[in-house]
Amino acid sequence: MTPDSSRDHSRFPSLGDCWNARSKNCFWVADQFGYRIGSLISWAALRLGIGPNVLTMAALAAGLAGIAVACWPGMDRQTGGLALLVGLLGSCCFDCSDGVVARLSGRTSGFGHVLDKICDLTLSLVLAGALGVVALNQPTRLLPDEWKPLLLVWTLLPKQVFSVVTWLRETIESGAGHGSHTLGTSRFDAAKRLVGNLTDDAPYRAGVALSWMTGWYFEFSLVIHSVFAGITVLYLYLNRKNFG
């Protein structure tokens, strides 16, 4: 029997090709965790003919599934937190695979780029909103209960604003013909790398899941979103010429 040439796997990129096609400017956790699993996902997707936009939607679906389990009525924090951790980190892995598939299959597009950002923002907003509403009826460990409504509103703002600001800067630089830059070796660059590693999507989502699991959700949210707010202000100041 003559094999179907359309399924000739020798024509597809190898697993090594998928790994080498990852973003080279990502932070450590994304590189060592997200893209390692994302390479396997992209390798399988290329063989199955799954497009990058499908993977983008799969990333959103995985995150929403984890949120739904965590917020299910009667779900205990430990089980819900574990489901949230798996769903959110799984979402990061799918998110790392869509760009690889797009580049290796020659299917990069402006629509795909915008879809990726919309899905990221949607997941981030649903995550903060859904967990915050459920947490209103749960006790905090250190913070007064009267703070909880304000903290719910607070969790909806800083990270989303930071994501939009960085996206706009990337868009402006791309439109101006400037390529993406890598961090240098100065102390300031090292500090930016450290902050980036701590606030990147995978560590942030893992922190949310673990704080939910242990009952420290609002305390963690207050700290991490205050960090995002501070980073956003500093980022806008340092890049004021780009937005001017």
Q: For 73-82, what is each residue's pLDDT tens digit?
A: 999 999 999 9
* Distance separating alpha carbons of residues 25 and 43, to the nearest angstrom: 21
- Which two structure tokens, joined as six digits, stand for 24? 């080279």
- Which two structure tokens, joined as six digits, stand for 195? 């902050």
110-142 pLDDT tens trace? 899 899 999 999 999 999 999 999 999 998 999
**Predicted model pTM:** 0.87
The confidence score (pLDDT) of residue 223 equals 95
The full set of domains in the chain, from first to last, is 12-243 (1.20.120.1760)
The confidence score (pLDDT) of residue 169 equals 75
Q: Which of the four pLDDT bands, split at 50, 70 and 90, describes residue 187?
A: low
Sign, CA dihedral 162-191-222-236, equals negative
Q: Which of the four pLDDT bands, split at 50, 70 and 90, describes residue 71?
A: very high
The confidence score (pLDDT) of residue 229 equals 93
* Across 29-33, 36-40, 116-120, least confident range: 29-33
Q: Which of the four pLDDT bands, split at 50, 70 and 90, describes residue 241?
A: confident
Mean pLDDT across 197-224? 93
DSSP letter (8 states) at residue 5: G
Q: Please name the residues in contact with 95: beta carbons below 8 A apart, sequence gap of 6 or more.
A: 34, 38, 56, 59, 116, 120, 201
Q: Which of the four pLDDT bands, split at 50, 70 and 90, describes residue 189?
A: low
Mean pLDDT across 167-171? 78
Residue % of the chain over a pLDDT of 70: 86
Cα 32–Cα 211–Cα 91 angle in degrees, nearest 5: 40
Q: Which of the four pLDDT bands, split at 50, 70 and 90, describes residue 5?
A: very low
* Distance separating alpha carbons of residues 174 and 185, to the nearest angstrom: 24
